[in-house]
Chains A and B, each alone.
Chain A
Amino acid sequence: MAHIEATDPNGYKPNQEIFSEILQELAAKDRDIIAVTSDSRGSGKLVPFGKKFPEQIVEVGIAEQNLVGVAAGLAAAGKKVFAVSPACFLTARALEQIKNDVAYSDNPVTVVGISAGVSYGALGSTHHSLHDFAALRCINNITVVVPADNFETAQATALAAKTNSPVYLRFGKRVMNNLKDVNDDTFAFGKGRVITEGNDAAIIACGETVYPALQAAKLLAEQGINATVVSMHTIKPLDTDLLANLAANCKAIVTVEEHSVYGGLGEACAAYLMQHGLHKPFRIVGIPDEYTVTGSQQDIFNHYHLTKEGIAEVVKGLL
């Protein structure tokens, strides 16, 4: 498990910065690539994009409903649109526009929720998005993707531009290590990425929690417990083949997400397992349903045990 040694994040970047770099590459080759922003180009790392491609950025001001409606109209006219705004506002205030103008009308917009989860931890619940998986999972016709590392981010961004149907991409602010030394995976929406393998337990995580999950696996390995770690970057459609495989081969399953324990990755996995008779010891690690504690993202992760020690403890408790 040498590849989980990379604890020093130097050389890596926040996923939303990689997103911006890839979007610039795509925009240089394709004039139809358009970013739509709601005074959000700074946090979306899109300032260089705006400078290089002033004709390919549409600014609507702080008006998220309009952001998504305008994005839908641009997409309907053939543009490959990335509607970028903090996830907390985008998937709450503009939820009806995502539901109707993007998903229901089938306008192929990529809705990009930035600074997601508790990236803005100290700013309080107005700025947390712990509801977005739940809100979007029950909307038909939108793929929900939360890349874990720079590799997944680059792949997901390029794939979203090619995908002729609605996609939600969710990024955070933290500098993310690549999860593997060699990224030779075939990345596809709806196909979870196995980062490391072991038959004692499966840890299914997504986004910025995959890294602590991987560290937890290392900690467990030192104690003779071998865990599979999966980056389940696509929350919907869920990779149920992989899930069934994990249930068949591991003694316990733990899910980890930077989201409410209600309605997210964990409950999606639980629903599939229960309904297919795959009964394994199972726990959901996420943000509990309470007035969320504030502080840095790491403070909040520590508080709710979204840490290597916390995740390892939950796994051990099931074995």
Chain B
Amino acid sequence: MKMQELKKKSVEYRKKILKYIVGAKAGHTGGSLSCTDILNVLYNHTLKVSPQTFTSPDRDRYIQSKGHCVEALFVVLADKGFFPEEHLETLCQYKSHYIGHPTRKVKGVEQNTGALGHGLPIAVGNAIAAKLDKRNYKVYTLMGDGELPEGSNWEAALTAAHYKLDNLCAIVDKNTLQITASTAEVCNTDPLDEKWKAFGWAVKEVDGHDVEALKAAFDSLPFEPGKPSVIIAHTVKGKGVSFMENNLKWHHGVPSKEEYALALSELDSSMEKVLI
């Protein structure tokens, strides 16, 4: 996909994320907007997976450890044709499969997530299976920075390095905020790159909203042969909507009618910039 197309997608996705959160009157707005560009590049450039190949043993796997940002995932999966987008009109409604966290009842979702610190161990299991079966697929998992204090992540990080899983890529959506306060105030995990390096991982840091940089990072996997790779994506919580950016209120805030209109007009003007 051409760069302009990719950039256009990011704006479209952000608009849809807000649309369905407003419709459901619930959602993780800030975190969905911070990982939008990452999901965009993954699904439109990097991942070898489609609705047609979703049951193939050779498909790339994507496991969203930060399951609460399901709105971003659903919007991207719908765009990729995994299910009709209108299904998202039932988001969080009684008996809808489109609930507040990913489940395998939705086509395109690999694993049921939502409890934090679960994605990486499962991804490690997937990646070990690929090595055992001598298959070439890659395994990706998206983690929030707020979930990094979960010890299970670091257990799995050790196993990934031990088994030299260079078919595994973790992405940290480092938006520096979590529900209570900044991650630095709640439980500081910096310097993060040094932690991953100490656990035997190859690390790259990118601007998590620069689709070109994300593309280049994914294209250069594995960062070192014989090592698992982690991308520390520096992001802004609430990215794309000025009043939501870096504002704790939008962790799971739902925009009012007026706020939604304002957000759309901001996103429309950023679309104009993309199209120039």
Q: A residues within 8 Å of B by Cβ?
A: 34, 55, 58, 60-61, 63, 65-66, 68-79, 96-97, 100-101, 104-107
Interface hits, B170-198 → A, CB 8 Å:
none
Q: A77-B133, A104-B112 are known contacts. Are A71 and B125 too (CB-CB below 8 A)?
A: yes
Known pairs A63-B152, A77-B130. 4 more at Cβ < 8 A? A58-B163, A66-B159, A70-B128, A72-B121
Whole-angstrom CA separation of A34 from B126 in the bound complex:
13
B133: A residues at CB distance < 8 A = 77-78
Q: Which residues of B contact A55 (CB under 8 A)?
A: 132
B114: A residues at CB distance < 8 A: 100
Identify the closest chain B residue to A106 (Cβ).
B104
In the complex, the answer to whether B159 meets A60 with C-beta atoms within 8 Å is yes
Q: A100-B114, A101-B122 are in contact. Are A63 and B158 (CB under 8 A)?
A: yes
Query: Which of A60, A70, A74, A104 has the largest count of B CB atoms less than 10 A from its CB?
Result: A70
Looking across the interface, which residue of chain A has its beta carbon closest to that of B153? A66
> Which residues from A are CB-within-8-Å of B33?
none
Contact between chains at B125 and A73 (CB < 8 Å): yes
Knowing A63-B155, A69-B156, A101-B118 are in contact, say whether A76-B124 is a contact too (CB < 8 A): no
B57 within 8 A of A: yes
Instruction: Report yes or no: A73 in contact with B121, Cβ–Cβ below 8 A.
Output: yes
9 residue pairs, one from A and one from B, having the closest CB atoms: A73-B125, A69-B121, A77-B129, A66-B155, A63-B155, A73-B122, A70-B125, A65-B152, A105-B112
Whether B210 sits at the interface, judged by CB under 8 Å, is no
Q: Do B57 and A73 touch across chains, with their CB atoms under 8 A apart?
A: no
Contacting residues, chain A, for B126 (C-beta < 8 A): 73-74, 76-77
Contact of B123 (CB < 8 Å), options: A71, A73, A107:
A73
Residues of chain B lying within 8 A (CB to CB) of residue A100 = 112-115, 118
Note all chain A residues with C-beta closer than 8 A to B118: 69, 96-97, 100-101
B110 CB within 8 Å of chain A = yes
Q: List 17 A-B contacts (CB under 8 A).
A: A63-B159, A66-B158, A69-B120, A70-B122, A70-B159, A73-B121, A73-B128, A74-B129, A77-B57, A77-B129, A78-B57, A78-B133, A97-B118, A97-B152, A101-B121, A101-B122, A105-B122
Interface string of B111-146 (1 = CB under 8 A from A): 111110110111111111110110000000000000
> Least Cβ distance of A53 to chain B in Å?
11
- A69–B122 contact, CB under 8 A? yes
Residues of A within 8 A of B117 (CB): 65
Q: What bracket does the count of chain B residues touching chain A fall in?
A: 20 to 34
Q: Which residues of B contact A104 (CB under 8 A)?
A: 103, 112
Minimum distance in angstroms from B20 CB to a CB of chain A: 23
Question: Shortest beta-carbon distance, B23 to chain A, in Å?
Answer: 26
Structural contact, B155 and A74, CB atoms closer than 8 A? no
Look across to chain B and name the residue whose beta carbon is closest to the beta carbon of A65.
Answer: B152
Mostly, the B contact residues are helix
A96 proximity list for chain B (CB < 8 A):
115, 118
CA distance A76 to B111 in the complex (A): 8
B151 at the interface (CB under 8 A from A): yes
- Once the chains bind, are B159 and A72 in contact (CB under 8 Å)? no
Most chain B CB atoms below 10 A, which of A65, A68, A72, A73: A73
Q: How far is the CB of B59 from chain A (nearest CB, A)?
A: 10
When the two chains form their complex, are residues B122 and A72 in contact, meaning their CB atoms are under 8 A apart?
yes
A70 close to B156 (CB less than 8 A)? yes
- Smallest Cβ-Cβ distance to B121: which chain A residue: A69
Complex Cα gap A61–B163 (Å): 12
Distance of A100 Cα from B102 Cα, bound (Å): 12
Q: How far is the CB of A55 from chain B (nearest CB, A)?
A: 7
Chain A residues in 8 Å Cβ range of B130: 77
Given contacts A76-B126, A77-B129, A106-B104, contact A66 B112 (CB under 8 A): no
Q: How far is the CA of A251 from the CA of B78 in the complex (A)?
A: 61
- B33 to chain A minimum Cβ distance, whole angstroms, is 26
Cβ contacts under 8 Å, A105 to chain B: 104, 111-112, 122
Which of B110, B114, B159 has most A Cβ within 10 Å? B159
Which chain B residues border A77 with CB–CB below 8 Å? 57, 61, 125-126, 129-130, 133
Of the candidates A34, A58, A61, A65, which one forms a contact with B151 in the assembled complex, judged by CB atoms under 8 Å apart?
A65
| Residue of B103, B110, B156, B163 touching A76 (CB-CB under 8 A) | B110
Distance in Å: Cβ of A264 to nearest Cβ of chain B: 26
User: In the complex, what distance in Å separates the CA atom of A155 from the CA atom of B152?
Assistant: 33
Chain B CB within 10 A, most for which of A72, A79, A101, A104: A101
Expressed in whole angstroms, the minimum distance between the Cβ of A278 and any Cβ of chain B is: 35
State the CA gap A60–B155 with chains docked (Å).
8
Question: B155 touching A73 by the CB < 8 A rule?
Answer: no
A78 engages B129 (CB within 8 Å): yes
Q: Which residues of A contact B158 (CB under 8 A)?
A: 61, 63, 66
Nearest-Cβ distance from residue B140 to partner chain A, whole angstroms: 13
**A65 neighbours in B (Cβ, 8 Å):** 117, 121, 151-152, 155
Alpha-carbon distance A97/B152, docked complex (angstroms): 10
Q: What CA separation (Å) do A34 and B104 show in the bound complex?
A: 24
Shortest Cβ gap from B228 to chain A (Å): 13
Whether the Cβ atoms of B104 and A70 lie closer than 8 Å is: no
From residue A98, how far is it (CB to closest CB) to chain B in Å?
Answer: 11
Tell me the complex Cα distance, A16–B103, Å.
Answer: 35
Min Cβ gap B245→A in Å is: 32
User: How far is it, in angstroms, between the C-alpha of A212 and the C-alpha of B128 when the chains are bound?
Assistant: 44
